[in-house]
Amino acid sequence: MTSQDFIIREITPADNAELANVVRSVILEMGAPKIGTAYEDAATDNMFETYQKEKAIYFVVEQHNKVVGGAGIAQLDNYEGNFCELQKMYFLPLVRGKGIGTKLISTCLEKAKEFGFESCYLETMPYMTAAQKLYKRNGFTSLDKPVGNTGHYACNVWMLKKI
């Protein structure tokens, strides 16, 4: 399977159920807690609706008409600065290691720049080491403490990239 087998496109209402399954299956696969993560977020079941606001967008990764991953950006919650947050980036195992993560991060950051954001923040979990390597390769640096308040208290790895 090559990266040409995958399509990155904006989310549609029809993607909600498949995307929620992707998010929750990856959280369970990683052994992450259900509480304090995207697993329990109301937004996880309504991703299309969640991103229908100003300066927000969500992209899905599709393969053969099936949603296999995604990521989005939106204004960082509870923060006064001009920061967006890279949110809900999840991939099923068949997507990983094919360069799709880098393509998706680039797509999100291009949109963030268009929206006028100055920096992009993200949170992840310590045992998601492959994700952390991906973020570092794409210019994100580690922070000592969180920025804003996303409500994801189980995520205690914080990273930032100037756009």
- Examine residue 69 and state whether it is found in any structural domain, yes or no: yes
Answer yes or no: is 160 within a domain.
no
> What is residue 152's predicted lDDT score, i.e. its pLDDT?
62
Q: How many CA atoms lie within 13 A of 95 on its CB side?
A: 25
- Note down the domain range covering 90: 3-117
pTM for the whole structure: 0.92
CATH code of the domain covering residue 70: 3.40.630.30
Using alpha carbons, list the distances in angstroms from residue 87 to 2, 29, 65, 106, 150: 25, 18, 23, 14, 10
Residue 136 domain-assigned?
A: no
Residue 135: both structure tokens together: 């973020």
- Give the pLDDT confidence score for residue 45 in this predicted structure: 94
SS3 27: helix
Residue 113 and residue 163 in contact, taking contact as beta carbons nearer than 8 Å = yes
Asked if residue 117 lies in contact with residue 163, where contact means CB atoms within 8 angstroms, the answer is yes
Q: What is the pLDDT of residues 83-104, one digit of tens each?
A: 999 999 999 999 999 999 999 9
pLDDT tens string 114-162: 999 999 999 988 888 889 999 999 999 999 998 887 766 667 899 999 9
